[in-house]
Amino acid sequence: MKIKVLDWRDPLWSGTLTHLAHDIYHLPEYLYCEALRTQSIPEAILITEGQKVCLIPYLRRACHSIPAASAKVYDITSPNGYSGFLLSPAALEDAAFGPNAWQQFLHLAKEQGICSAFLRLHPSLNTVHPQGMKDILIKKVGQTVSINLELSESDLWSHTHKSQRNKINKGKRLGLIAKVKPFSEYITEFCNIYEATMQRVEAETSFFSFNRDYFYLLQKHLGHKLFVCVVEYQNKIISAGLYSECSGIVQGLLGGTTPEGLKLSPTSLEFYQTSLWAKQRGNTMLHLGGGVGCTEDGLYQYKANFSKQRHGFYTASIIIKPIQYKQLLESHSKSHNIGLDHLNSVQFFPAYRYKSNPQ
């Protein structure tokens, strides 16, 4: 079994993906854009044994709160979205390969000074999880919604809840027009609507890191895989949603609606029109995602109106160096005046990065 850490510029990363079912979250260019946004380092670990392959993309972050006397310590996390890990067909067929690969991953991570790892598993590509590994905590966070594009157009319509069909029909009667175009054609309009929407809803600080510079960086490196669905009313754009297209999977990334557009429910038409567009291009799935934090909240319930297809969303939390993890936790507790008992009980990993007020 061979194992190697890959830099995002290593052609072996892109080359490996040509043989694996994957999504935009696994592309090295996406990891690079995310690394600049989060001030981290984009890497992947490649584990191979003949035709059996495991690829784990991640962002490596420095743990600045470790006591100064200690050696440099890092942790790793998935980029925004669901990168998880990828396994080749041969790897999936060998029950022993997965556990052995994870042991190799843990061993190499420890050598690289990695204290902990947090991976968001892909809802449709990570249906097989690490089993029986005492060092890896697999947790189901919630469900996500996707539209099965292999259905006929009539079935796509019938699987859309009646309330949303009514909104779509009403929108069309009022003159709403939805169209899907390359992101480059509407990037300025999208940025304007997204920023205004985040301000209006008083979104958490993290949503503002998806700023204009970030979107232009995405366009530069991944423009051929990015599209925007805009909805117009009386020749004005009232909503815009950003989507990626990769290996048959279309992902709903981010979006927004103008104050004037709210009463017209343009997102209903946007989702439906995007599903038709994606189907016509030969894709198999339009993944809408879940609620905030993938909880089954109002946002999840809204998305659930557009399809009957569901996926479990899981995360993997791994403490690789328990002693250093404890040091980080104690340091964070003192510097942020948060009780250790509270940190140990929060549903956040790694707990030493928890903030009591995310705003």
Task: Report the pLDDT value the prediction gives residue 62, as an integer from 0 to 100.
Answer: 92
Q: Determine contact, residues 248/213, Cβ cutoff 8 Å.
A: no
Q: Characterize the bridge pairing of strands 249-257 and 285-289.
A: parallel
Alpha-carbon span 74 to 187, nearest angstrom: 35
Residue 326, token pair as written in the block = 């404890």
Burial 90-123 (b: 16+ CB within 10 A, else e): ebeebeebbeebbebbbebbeeebbbbbbbbbbb
DSSP-based three-state secondary structure for 273: helix
Task: Report the pLDDT value the prediction gives residue 294, as an integer from 0 to 100.
Answer: 65
Q: What is the mean pLDDT of residues 142-168?
A: 97
Task: Report the pLDDT value the prediction gives residue 64, as an integer from 0 to 100.
Answer: 73
Q: What is the mean pLDDT of residues 288-311?
A: 89
| Confidence grade of residue 206 (pLDDT, cut at 50, 70, 90) | confident
Q: What is the mean pLDDT of residues 143-157?
A: 97
Average pLDDT value for the chain: 93
Q: Which stretches within 146-211 are classed as H helix?
A: 153-158, 162-174, 183-200
Cα torsion through 342, 81, 205, 178, rounded to 10: -140
| pLDDT single digits (tens) 47-98 | 999 999 999 999 999 987 665 435 688 999 999 999 999 999 999 999 999 9
- Which domains, ranges and CATH numbers included, belong to the chain? 2-141+314-353 (3.40.630), 151-283 (3.40.630.30)
- Complete DSSP assignment for 208-223: GGS-HHHHHHHHHHHG
Task: Report the pLDDT value the prediction gives residue 131, as an integer from 0 to 100.
Answer: 66
Instruction: Give, as one character, the DSSP assignment of residue 93.
Output: H
| pLDDT single digits (tens) 271-288 | 999 999 999 999 999 999
Task: Report the pLDDT value the prediction gives residue 68, as an integer from 0 to 100.
Answer: 45
| Confidence grade of residue 25 (pLDDT, cut at 50, 70, 90) | very high
Alpha-carbon span 11 to 217, nearest angstrom: 20
CB atoms < 10 A from the CB of 253, how many? 20
Task: Report the pLDDT value the prediction gives residue 69, as an integer from 0 to 100.
Answer: 36
- The CB-based long-range contact list for 335-344 (8 Å cut-off, 24+ gap) reads 335/65
Which is more confidently placed, 161 or 71?
161
- The CB-based long-range contact list for 329-334 (8 Å cut-off, 24+ gap) reads 331/65, 331/66, 331/67, 332/65
- Complete DSSP assignment for 143-159: EEEEEETTS-HHHHHHT
Alpha-carbon span 42 to 61, nearest angstrom: 9
Alpha-carbon span 158 to 76, nearest angstrom: 43
- Complete DSSP assignment for 10-71: -HHHHHHHTTS---GGG-HHHHHHHHHHHT-EEEEEEEEETTEEEEEEEEEEE-TTS-TTSP
| pLDDT single digits (tens) 311-333 | 999 999 999 999 999 999 998 89
Task: Report the pLDDT value the prediction gives residue 130, as an integer from 0 to 100.
Answer: 79
pLDDT > 90: percent of the chain: 86
For residue 350, say if its preceding peptide bond is cis, omega within 30 degrees of 0. Answer: yes
84, 103, 139, 240, 284 from 25: Cα distances, Å: 9, 24, 20, 21, 17
Does 306 have pLDDT greater than 90? yes
Task: Report the pLDDT value the prediction gives residue 359, as an integer from 0 to 100.
Answer: 40
| Confidence grade of residue 132 (pLDDT, cut at 50, 70, 90) | low
| Confidence grade of residue 24 (pLDDT, cut at 50, 70, 90) | very high
Task: Report the pLDDT value the prediction gives residue 66, as an integer from 0 to 100.
Answer: 62
Q: Which residues pair with 256 in a beta bridge?
A: 240
For the chain, how long is the longest CA-to-CA vector? Answer: 68
Which is more confidently placed, 197 or 128?
197
DSSP H/E element including 226:
strand 226-233
